[in-house]
Amino acid sequence: MDHTSVIRFGILGNAAVYQKALRPAFERSAVAVLAAVGSSKASGAAHPLPTDGVPAITEYTGEGAYQAVIDDPNVDAVYIPLPNHLHKEWTLKAAAAGKHVLCEKPLGVTAADAYDMIRACQENVVHLMEAFMYRYNPQHHRARQIAASGEIGDLRLVRVGFSVPLPSPESNVRFQDYPGAGALHDVGSYGINVCRWMFGTEPTRAHALTANLPGTGADILHTISLEFPDGKMATISGGLGQAYRSFYELVGTTGRIEVERPFATPPFVESDGPLRLKVDTGESTREELFDDESQYDIQIEAFCSLINGHPEQAYSPEDSQRNMHVLDACAASAQSGATELVHGSEVGVLR
């Protein structure tokens, strides 16, 4: 596939992230086009959806809709926003059909899932990337650059908070009885990812406390402590069904950096102007401003570039597997009440 190829996508499911963010992003894209959508909640034959002047989108409905999208010869890649326990199944099916996969976070329910997904995509010579859209905002790269420069001294602590209100959590798909349900595998995965990214290495131990939604086995609230090499630490708090909060703080030996609204951007929250990165060096303070760009647009561009042989903006599925190793340790800790070792930390340093 040459570097000018426009990638034709199929979507498995009709999730809110597709309706609110992905479909508009595809309509704006110069490197991708939405070719097909599959929905299991309706029945009927495939038919074109109205598209306001952009190329027609084929909608597959009812039982077999997801497989029909995968089998569509006009689809090069699939985006999977399905519930977490379905990520592995449909990634393996897409890979077997020779389709590239952009899969919502977390990549799987466990690190073992992630390994199987990576192996299947490698064996079928297709690309796999986790859809962690937040990483495509320049404020994060700038925060990491400042921390690495020594301007706040030696980075010692990362503190993260991310919670999202849900009016009726008991009826939300995130709390249905399946593996990987709950807040830890949802908003918790963001906090784990950003801590690993900012430190540039892997945690060695994890301790997690969770509170479950009554009547379910899925957590609605969690706190996580991560231990990194050289005495560095991270604390993460989050949940679903609490007041909205989204931030992280990098604390060094002489200063700190505050990053506002790092994980949720329009259309899921209203933009209140430029994003602010606040830097306190211990001797002076300043704010740096960043456009509130659509991270979904940039993510699609990065994945299409990867498919077309330009991986510079992409991040590896092996990194996603390392994130799953930490999630595994947190889930084990929540069950055991003990601090758990993070397996897989020997894989290497996060770029």
- Which tens digits make up the pLDDT trace of 6-20? 999 999 998 778 788
Decide if 200 is inside a domain.
yes
Give pLDDT, residue 54: 52
Q: Of the candidates 78, 109, 133, which is a domain's last residue? A: 133
Decide if 175 is inside a domain.
yes
* Residues 317 and 222 occupy one common structural domain: yes
* Residues 194 and 273 occupy one common structural domain: yes
Contacts of 40 (CB under 8 A, 6+ apart): 13, 61, 62, 63, 65, 66
* Residues 87 and 236 occupy one common structural domain: no
Range of the domain at 55: 7-133
Measure the CA angle with vertex 296, ends 292 and 302; round to 5°. Answer: 110
Which residue in this structure is represented by tokens 């790092």?
A: 262
Decide if 2 is inside a domain.
no
CATH number for position 298: 3.30.360.10
Q: Of the candidates 99, 118, 133, which is a domain's last residue? A: 133
* Residues 140 and 174 occupy one common structural domain: yes
Measured distance CA(299)–CA(33) in Å, rounded: 14
* Residues 68 and 186 occupy one common structural domain: no
Decide if 102 is inside a domain.
yes
Single-letter residue type at 145: Q
> What is the phi/psi pair of residue 180, to 5°?
85, 5
Give pLDDT, residue 88: 98
Give pLDDT, residue 138: 87
* Residues 113 and 222 occupy one common structural domain: no
* Residues 103 and 68 occupy one common structural domain: yes
CATH number for position 32: 3.40.50.720
* Residues 277 and 152 occupy one common structural domain: yes
Decide if 1 is inside a domain.
no
* Residues 167 and 229 occupy one common structural domain: yes
Give pLDDT, residue 350: 38
How many distinct structural domains can be found in the chain?
2
Long-range CB pairs of 288-291 (<8 Å, 24+ gap) are 288/139, 288/142, 290/137, 290/138, 290/139, 290/142
- Strand 245-252, strand 256-260: pairing: antiparallel
* Residues 60 and 146 occupy one common structural domain: no
Measured distance CA(196)–CA(78) in Å, rounded: 27
Measured distance CA(307)–CA(126) in Å, rounded: 8
Q: Of the candidates 84, 108, 133, which is a domain's last residue? A: 133
* Residues 205 and 105 occupy one common structural domain: no
Give pLDDT, residue 348: 39
Q: How far is CA 164 from CA 132, 209, 213, 220, in A?
A: 17, 18, 14, 10
pLDDT tens series, the chain, 351 aa: 455 699 999 999 987 787 888 888 999 999 999 999 999 876 554 555 554 555 689 999 999 999 999 999 999 999 999 999 999 999 999 999 999 999 999 999 999 999 999 999 999 999 999 999 999 988 999 999 999 999 999 999 999 999 999 888 778 888 888 899 999 999 999 999 999 999 999 999 999 999 999 888 899 999 999 999 999 999 999 999 999 999 999 999 999 999 999 997 666 777 778 889 999 999 999 999 998 778 899 999 999 999 999 998 898 999 999 999 999 999 999 999 999 999 985 543 333
* Residues 288 and 248 occupy one common structural domain: yes
Decide if 98 is inside a domain.
yes
